[in-house]
Amino acid sequence: MPKQFDLIVFDWDGTLMDSAGVIAASIRAACRDLGLTEPSELAARHIIGLGLNEAIAHLLPELPVADYPSFIERYRHHYLGKDENIPLFAGAERVVRNLHGARFLLGVATGKSRRGLDRALEHTGLRAYFHGTRCADECFSKPHPEMLEQLMDTLGASRERTLMIGDTSHDLLMARNAGVPALAVSYGAHPRADLLTHTPLACMDSIAELEAWLLAHA
Protein backbone atom coordinates (compact mmCIF):
# COMPACT_ATOMS: atom_id res chain seq x y z
CA MET A 1 0.00 0.00 0.00
CA PRO A 2 1.22 3.56 -0.67
CA LYS A 3 2.23 5.56 2.36
CA GLN A 4 -0.39 7.83 3.88
CA PHE A 5 2.24 9.83 5.78
CA ASP A 6 5.77 11.03 5.13
CA LEU A 7 6.63 12.31 8.62
CA ILE A 8 5.71 10.61 11.90
CA VAL A 9 6.34 12.64 15.06
CA PHE A 10 6.38 11.00 18.48
CA ASP A 11 5.98 12.52 21.88
CA TRP A 12 8.61 11.05 24.22
CA ASP A 13 7.51 10.66 27.86
CA GLY A 14 4.54 8.31 28.14
CA THR A 15 4.58 7.50 24.43
CA LEU A 16 7.96 5.87 23.78
CA MET A 17 9.42 5.92 27.30
CA ASP A 18 7.62 4.54 30.36
CA SER A 19 8.42 7.62 32.41
CA ALA A 20 5.06 9.15 33.35
CA GLY A 21 5.02 7.50 36.79
CA VAL A 22 8.55 8.69 37.61
CA ILE A 23 7.77 12.24 36.45
CA ALA A 24 4.60 12.39 38.54
CA ALA A 25 6.39 10.99 41.60
CA SER A 26 9.23 13.52 41.17
CA ILE A 27 6.76 16.41 40.93
CA ARG A 28 5.02 15.31 44.10
CA ALA A 29 8.32 14.80 45.93
CA ALA A 30 9.47 18.30 44.95
CA CYS A 31 6.26 19.70 46.42
CA ARG A 32 6.86 17.85 49.68
CA ASP A 33 10.45 19.10 49.83
CA LEU A 34 9.28 22.71 49.57
CA GLY A 35 6.31 22.36 51.93
CA LEU A 36 3.80 22.90 49.12
CA THR A 37 0.44 21.19 48.85
CA GLU A 38 1.12 17.83 47.24
CA PRO A 39 -0.98 17.31 44.09
CA SER A 40 -2.74 14.07 43.36
CA GLU A 41 -1.16 11.53 41.04
CA LEU A 42 -3.77 12.42 38.41
CA ALA A 43 -3.04 16.14 38.67
CA ALA A 44 0.71 15.54 38.44
CA ARG A 45 0.25 13.37 35.36
CA HIS A 46 -1.96 15.96 33.69
CA ILE A 47 0.88 18.47 33.23
CA ILE A 48 3.27 15.93 31.68
CA GLY A 49 4.22 17.11 28.21
CA LEU A 50 4.25 20.81 29.05
CA GLY A 51 7.46 22.78 29.45
CA LEU A 52 8.55 23.02 33.10
CA ASN A 53 7.56 26.65 33.60
CA GLU A 54 4.16 26.07 32.02
CA ALA A 55 3.69 22.91 34.08
CA ILE A 56 4.48 24.73 37.33
CA ALA A 57 2.15 27.62 36.48
CA HIS A 58 -0.69 25.17 35.76
CA LEU A 59 -0.11 22.89 38.75
CA LEU A 60 0.98 25.47 41.37
CA PRO A 61 -0.64 28.79 40.39
CA GLU A 62 0.03 30.19 43.88
CA LEU A 63 3.81 29.65 43.63
CA PRO A 64 5.70 32.91 42.92
CA VAL A 65 7.72 32.85 39.71
CA ALA A 66 10.78 33.72 41.79
CA ASP A 67 10.43 30.31 43.47
CA TYR A 68 10.31 28.32 40.21
CA PRO A 69 14.08 27.66 40.22
CA SER A 70 13.81 26.04 43.67
CA PHE A 71 11.01 23.78 42.50
CA ILE A 72 12.86 22.87 39.32
CA GLU A 73 16.01 22.04 41.30
CA ARG A 74 14.08 19.70 43.61
CA TYR A 75 12.20 18.10 40.71
CA ARG A 76 15.42 17.44 38.84
CA HIS A 77 17.04 16.08 41.99
CA HIS A 78 14.39 13.39 42.24
CA TYR A 79 14.01 12.71 38.50
CA LEU A 80 17.67 12.62 37.56
CA GLY A 81 18.34 10.05 40.25
CA LYS A 82 16.18 7.61 38.28
CA ASP A 83 16.22 8.64 34.63
CA GLU A 84 19.08 6.38 33.48
CA ASN A 85 17.02 3.38 34.54
CA ILE A 86 13.69 4.40 32.99
CA PRO A 87 12.90 1.93 30.19
CA LEU A 88 11.29 2.37 26.84
CA PHE A 89 7.92 0.66 26.57
CA ALA A 90 8.43 -2.91 25.44
CA GLY A 91 8.34 -2.94 21.66
CA ALA A 92 8.85 0.82 21.25
CA GLU A 93 12.39 0.47 19.92
CA ARG A 94 11.18 -2.06 17.33
CA VAL A 95 8.40 0.26 16.15
CA VAL A 96 10.81 3.17 15.69
CA ARG A 97 13.46 1.00 14.02
CA ASN A 98 10.96 -0.53 11.58
CA LEU A 99 9.48 2.84 10.64
CA HIS A 100 12.97 4.16 10.00
CA GLY A 101 13.71 1.10 7.87
CA ALA A 102 10.53 1.74 5.89
CA ARG A 103 11.93 5.20 5.04
CA PHE A 104 9.52 7.33 7.02
CA LEU A 105 10.84 10.62 8.28
CA LEU A 106 10.76 10.45 12.09
CA GLY A 107 10.64 13.24 14.65
CA VAL A 108 10.21 13.90 18.36
CA ALA A 109 8.22 16.79 19.85
CA THR A 110 8.58 16.77 23.62
CA GLY A 111 8.12 18.80 26.77
CA LYS A 112 11.58 17.69 27.87
CA SER A 113 14.52 20.07 27.77
CA ARG A 114 17.11 19.65 25.02
CA ARG A 115 19.57 18.36 27.59
CA GLY A 116 17.02 15.87 28.92
CA LEU A 117 16.04 14.55 25.49
CA ASP A 118 19.66 14.23 24.37
CA ARG A 119 20.41 12.21 27.48
CA ALA A 120 17.39 9.96 26.87
CA LEU A 121 18.28 9.43 23.19
CA GLU A 122 21.80 8.48 24.21
CA HIS A 123 20.69 6.06 26.95
CA THR A 124 18.16 4.32 24.71
CA GLY A 125 20.25 4.21 21.55
CA LEU A 126 17.41 5.74 19.49
CA ARG A 127 19.23 8.89 18.37
CA ALA A 128 20.17 7.55 14.93
CA TYR A 129 16.55 6.82 13.99
CA PHE A 130 15.21 10.38 14.27
CA HIS A 131 15.61 12.97 11.55
CA GLY A 132 14.56 15.92 13.72
CA THR A 133 13.66 16.70 17.33
CA ARG A 134 12.21 19.72 19.12
CA CYS A 135 12.07 20.43 22.86
CA ALA A 136 10.17 22.77 25.17
CA ASP A 137 13.20 25.00 25.84
CA GLU A 138 13.65 25.59 22.08
CA CYS A 139 10.04 26.31 21.10
CA PHE A 140 6.77 27.41 22.61
CA SER A 141 5.37 24.77 24.92
CA LYS A 142 2.60 22.44 23.79
CA PRO A 143 -0.19 22.92 22.78
CA HIS A 144 1.36 25.71 20.68
CA PRO A 145 2.05 24.26 17.19
CA GLU A 146 5.62 25.59 16.84
CA MET A 147 7.38 22.27 17.46
CA LEU A 148 5.43 20.55 14.69
CA GLU A 149 5.67 23.54 12.39
CA GLN A 150 9.46 23.64 12.72
CA LEU A 151 9.80 19.91 12.15
CA MET A 152 7.60 20.01 9.06
CA ASP A 153 9.47 23.01 7.69
CA THR A 154 12.89 21.52 8.36
CA LEU A 155 12.05 18.07 6.99
CA GLY A 156 9.92 19.24 4.08
CA ALA A 157 6.67 17.52 5.10
CA SER A 158 3.15 18.82 4.51
CA ARG A 159 0.54 19.04 7.26
CA GLU A 160 -1.75 16.41 5.78
CA ARG A 161 1.13 13.93 5.40
CA THR A 162 2.43 14.40 8.95
CA LEU A 163 1.19 12.27 11.87
CA MET A 164 1.56 13.20 15.55
CA ILE A 165 1.52 10.38 18.13
CA GLY A 166 1.12 11.21 21.81
CA ASP A 167 -0.29 10.21 25.17
CA THR A 168 -1.64 13.57 26.38
CA SER A 169 -4.28 16.10 25.51
CA HIS A 170 -1.42 18.60 25.03
CA ASP A 171 -0.08 16.47 22.16
CA LEU A 172 -3.46 16.21 20.48
CA LEU A 173 -4.19 19.92 20.86
CA MET A 174 -0.76 20.77 19.43
CA ALA A 175 -1.54 18.60 16.42
CA ARG A 176 -4.93 20.25 15.96
CA ASN A 177 -3.35 23.71 16.21
CA ALA A 178 -0.81 22.69 13.56
CA GLY A 179 -3.47 21.20 11.28
CA VAL A 180 -1.89 17.75 11.61
CA PRO A 181 -3.66 14.36 12.06
CA ALA A 182 -3.05 12.79 15.47
CA LEU A 183 -3.00 9.32 16.98
CA ALA A 184 -3.49 8.85 20.73
CA VAL A 185 -2.00 6.23 23.02
CA SER A 186 -3.73 5.54 26.33
CA TYR A 187 -0.92 3.69 28.14
CA GLY A 188 0.88 6.90 29.18
CA ALA A 189 -0.05 9.98 31.23
CA HIS A 190 -3.64 10.92 30.35
CA PRO A 191 -6.77 8.77 30.67
CA ARG A 192 -8.32 7.34 27.51
CA ALA A 193 -11.56 9.26 28.05
CA ASP A 194 -9.70 12.59 28.08
CA LEU A 195 -7.82 11.70 24.90
CA LEU A 196 -11.00 10.74 23.03
CA THR A 197 -12.51 14.19 23.61
CA HIS A 198 -9.93 15.51 21.13
CA THR A 199 -11.06 13.13 18.35
CA PRO A 200 -7.77 11.50 17.33
CA LEU A 201 -7.70 9.20 14.32
CA ALA A 202 -7.63 6.31 16.80
CA CYS A 203 -6.63 5.59 20.39
CA MET A 204 -4.24 2.70 21.00
CA ASP A 205 -4.09 0.88 24.35
CA SER A 206 -0.66 -0.73 23.85
CA ILE A 207 2.50 -0.59 21.78
CA ALA A 208 1.31 -3.74 19.99
CA GLU A 209 -1.91 -1.97 18.94
CA LEU A 210 0.09 1.08 17.86
CA GLU A 211 2.40 -1.09 15.78
CA ALA A 212 -0.54 -2.82 14.09
CA TRP A 213 -2.28 0.48 13.34
CA LEU A 214 0.84 1.96 11.78
CA LEU A 215 1.39 -1.14 9.70
CA ALA A 216 -2.17 -0.98 8.38
CA HIS A 217 -2.64 2.78 7.98
CA ALA A 218 0.66 4.71 7.90
The reply to whether omega before 181 is within 30° of 0 (cis) is: no
Give catalytic status of residue 6 as yes or no: no
Q: What are phi and psi of 195, to 5 degrees?
A: -65, -40
Pairwise CA distance, residues 7 & 161, whole Å: 7
Catalytic residue among 13, 83, 167, 171: 13
**Strand ranges (DSSP E) for the chain?**
7-10, 105-110, 132-135, 162-166, 182-185, 203-204
Give the helix ranges, DSSP H, for 87-218.
Answer: 92-101, 114-124, 146-155, 169-178, 192-196, 207-217
Pairwise CA distance, residues 19 & 28, whole Å: 14
Give catalytic status of residue 13 as yes or no: yes
Catalytic residue among 6, 11, 18, 171: 11
Active site residues: 11, 13
